[in-house]
């Protein structure tokens, strides 16, 4: 293979039009699996959450989990889909070592939900993404290749399989092809997955965490010259973060342009996205539906949701995340852009609860989007798991509002809260972090600083008040930062006037 110089993104997009499509898998957060009663806890010892049904032992028969069907219908309704009044599960036949049945129970030509849409906001404009289908299936197990350098099967000495995940309900959400986005295709792809994540999170049916694999995304990309037919698409797998969704589309547009420029042909195949390099490499050539020999699952009865039940589920859908963001940005007095960053940080509910616990919107947002977001980023945890609760953040802000803590001390108290030392008041007491408000003690510290710095004091007496900064610093140091700098400054000027 010869090394080619890749075109720039701007160059590629000036000559070709992308069409994208996204297939998203969401692992449902049901307590038990889709067709048996096994638990679904994440991180359990390998092969401890299995039974004859999900291991496909002879004679074992599946029974559908109503909660899985209900969650799928709710997702479909939230995505403005039509809900089938009658449909069936199907067997998708293929052999994979992490799939004990040698077929996946899925849906083929009779999905539970069809023909919906999601409106996605990007930089003040709205884009409608069509939803082709939302169907229910089951997850596979997990294979672990050991002994090699890369964790991949190449070079491995052994492969281990864990069936705990096999049979966990999975919902696949497939968009219609999305043409016409031009240069914004990567950004809109990311905005779509973000919106989808927020909608599903608001339904409470999945924790939708990309890093844990409960939200997984495959990105289809094709290119065509303006006015020509759509090109052959590739399907990029292993896209494990929102940022990667955007990078994967961009890198495929550049790669396909380079192939087409050289007179090459795009092969219909799956490709693997590499987080580290930001590009894709070829996987297997893509199967077509006929390769899977789909047929209706004979061991399960058809699913025929009662329209009255579906209407009930529709009426009880929660407020749409976009509507909620619009309402809250007004209530909190912040711009739509700031609201979007709050949503992206996963802080909407946390800030809401902090306000409900008594903090002002500005105070609540300051801690969650500042100190706590930084800490969550550094330690690689979700904001909700950073170690502080909304009630604690509200209590912290109250201590600041009452003048018992200044900003610097409040940060130290928060550090203690996050470290598990207790509520803010307890940390403040245990670490002795309260602002010194006792005027007697402050005056003594000021007088000491004046006595220790006669030159500076003389300057201030001569009217050079800018020199007071040095004395303020000395007092703050003497009080270990526990004085209110403004009062200290006033006191110094007063003593030297």
What string marks each residue from 43 to 82 as x (binds Zn ion by CB under 5 A) or -?
--------x-xx----------------------------
* Shortest distance, position 170 Cβ to Zn ion, whole Å: 15
Does residue number 409 form part of the binding site for Zn ion (CB under 5 A)?
Answer: no
Nearer to Zn ion, 27 or 371 (CB): 27
The count of other CB atoms within 10 Å of the CB of residue 11 is 13
CB of 64 to Zn ion, least distance (A): 13
300 contributes a contact to Zn ion by CB under 5 A: no
The smaller minimum CB distance to Zn ion, of residues 64 and 326, is found at 64
Q: Contact region for Zn ion (CB under 5 A) — 34-42, 108-116, 358-366, 387-395? A: 34-42
Q: What is the DSSP letter of 238?
A: E
Beta carbon nearer to Zn ion, 116 or 167: 167
**Least CB distance from residue 354 to Zn ion, whole Å?**
40
* Nearest distance, CB of residue 317 and Zn ion, angstroms: 31
Q: Please give the full DSSP string across 447-487, using - where no structure is assigned.
A: HHHHHH-HHHHHHHHTT-GGGHHHHHHHHHHHTTT-B-HHH
DSSP-derived letter for residue 371 is I
Closest to Zn ion by CB, 167 vs 390, is 167
**Contacting Zn ion (CB under 5 A), which of 38, 369, 417, 433?**
38
Work out the burial of residue 471: count CB atoms within 10 Å of its CB; fewer than 13 is exposed, 13-18 middle, 19 or more buried. buried
Binding footprint of Zn ion, residue count (CB under 5 A): 5
Q: Which is nearer to Zn ion, 137 or 279 (CB)?
A: 137
The CA distance from 42 to 212, in Å, is: 9
Helix (H, G, I), strand (E, B) or coil at 14: helix
Where in 457-486 is the site for Zn ion (CB under 5 A)? none
Q: Give whichever of 56 and 334 is closer to Zn ion, judged by the CB atom.
A: 56
Residue 43 or 380 having the CB closest to Zn ion: 43
Bridge partners (DSSP) listed for residue 436? 483
Reported residue count of the chain is 497
Closest CA to 103 of 293, 313, 323, 372: 293
DSSP 71: H
Looking at beta carbons only, is 47 or 340 nearer to Zn ion?
Answer: 47
Question: Nearer Cβ to Zn ion, position 137 or 187?
Answer: 137
Q: Which two tokens stand for residue 119?
A: 């409106």
Closer CB to Zn ion, 47 or 389, in the complex: 47
Residue 221, strand partner residues: 20, 234
Q: Are 454 and 448 in contact (CB under 8 A)?
A: no
Min. distance of Cβ 51 from Zn ion in angstroms?
3
Q: How far is the CB of 359 from Zn ion (least distance, A)?
A: 45
Stretch that binds Zn ion, among 28-36, 141-149, 201-209, 367-375 (CB under 5 A): 28-36
Nearer to Zn ion, 167 or 231 (CB): 167
Decide if residue 36 touches Zn ion (CB under 5 A). yes
Stretch that binds Zn ion, among 32-40, 180-188, 191-199, 244-252 (CB under 5 A): 32-40
Lookup: tokens for 299 = 């061991």
Q: Pick the piece of the chain touching Zn ion (CB under 5 A) from 33-41, 154-162, 202-210, 340-348.
A: 33-41
Helix, strand or coil, per DSSP, at residue 423: coil
Q: How far is the CB of 138 from Zn ion (least distance, A)?
A: 10
Question: Min. distance of Cβ 61 from Zn ion in angstroms?
Answer: 12
Stretch that binds Zn ion, among 36-44, 231-239, 271-279, 307-315 (CB under 5 A): 36-44
Residue 208 falls in which region: left (phi positive, over 0), alpha (psi -120 to 50) or beta = left
Retrieve residue 319's tokens: 């407020």
CB 46 → Zn ion: shortest distance, Å? Answer: 14
CB 16 within 8 A of CB 257: yes
**Which residues are near Zn ion by CB under 5 A?**
36, 38, 51, 53-54
């Amino acid at each position: 293979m010869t090394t080619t110089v890749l075109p720039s993104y701007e160059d590629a997009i000036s000559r070709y039009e992308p069409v994208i499509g996204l297939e998203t898998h969401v692992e449902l957060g049901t307590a038990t699996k889709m067709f048996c009663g096994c638990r679904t806890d994440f991180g359990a010892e390998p092969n401890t959450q299995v039974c004859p049904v999900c291991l496909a032992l002879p004679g074992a028969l599946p029974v559908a989990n109503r909660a899985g069907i209900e969650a799928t219908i709710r997702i479909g309704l939230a995505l403005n889909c039509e809900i089938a009044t009658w449909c069936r599960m199907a067997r998708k036949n293929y052999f994979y070592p992490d799939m004990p049945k040698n077929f996946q129970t899925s849906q083929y030509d009779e999905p539970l939900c069809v023909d919906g849409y999601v409106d996605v906001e990007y930089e003040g404009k709205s884009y409608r993404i069509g939803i082709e289908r939302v169907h229910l299936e089951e997850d596979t197990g997990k294979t672990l290749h050991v002994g090699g350098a890369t964790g991949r099967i190449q070079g491995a000495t052994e492969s281990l399989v864990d069936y705990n995940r096999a049979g966990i309900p999975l919902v696949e959400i497939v968009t219609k092809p999305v043409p016409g986005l031009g240069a914004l295709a990567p950004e809109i792809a990311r905005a779509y997955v973000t919106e989808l994540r927020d909608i599903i999170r608001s339904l409470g049916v999945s924790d939708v965490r990309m890093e844990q694999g409960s939200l997984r995304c495959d990105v289809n990309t094709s290119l065509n010259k303006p006015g020509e037919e759509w090109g052959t698409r590739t399907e990029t797998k292993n896209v494990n973060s929102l940022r990667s969704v955007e990078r994967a589309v961009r890198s495929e547009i550049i790669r396909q342009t380079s192939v087409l420029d050289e007179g090459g042909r795009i092969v219909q195949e799956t490709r693997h996205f590499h987080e580290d390099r930001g590009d894709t490499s070829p996987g297997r050539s893509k199967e077509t539906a006929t390769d899977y020999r789909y047929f209706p699952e004979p061991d399960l009865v058809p699913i025929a949701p009662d329209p009255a039940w579906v209407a009930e589920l529709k009426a009880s859908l929660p407020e749409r995340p976009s509507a909620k963001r619009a309402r809250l940005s007004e209530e909190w007095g912040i711009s739509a852009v700031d609201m979007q960053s709050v949503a992206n940080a996963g802080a909407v509910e946390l800030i809401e609860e902090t306000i409900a616990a008594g903090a002002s919107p500005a105070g609540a947002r300051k801690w969650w989007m500042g100190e706590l977001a930084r800490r969550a980023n550094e330690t690689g945890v979700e904001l909700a798991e950073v170690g502080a609760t909304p009630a604690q953040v509200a209590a912290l802000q109250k201590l600041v509002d009452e003048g018992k803590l200044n900003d610097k001390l409040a940060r130290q108290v928060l550090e203690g809260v996050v470290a598990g030392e207790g509520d803010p008041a307890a940390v403040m007491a245990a670490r002795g972090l309260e602002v010194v408000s006792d005027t007697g003690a402050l005056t003594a510290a000021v007088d000491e600083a004046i006595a220790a710095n006669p030159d500076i004091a003389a300057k201030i007496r001569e009217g050079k008040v800018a020199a007071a900064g040095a004395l303020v610093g000395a007092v703050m140091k003497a009080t270990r930062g526990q004085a209110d700098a403004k009062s200290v400054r006033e006191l110094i000027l007063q003593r030297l006037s």
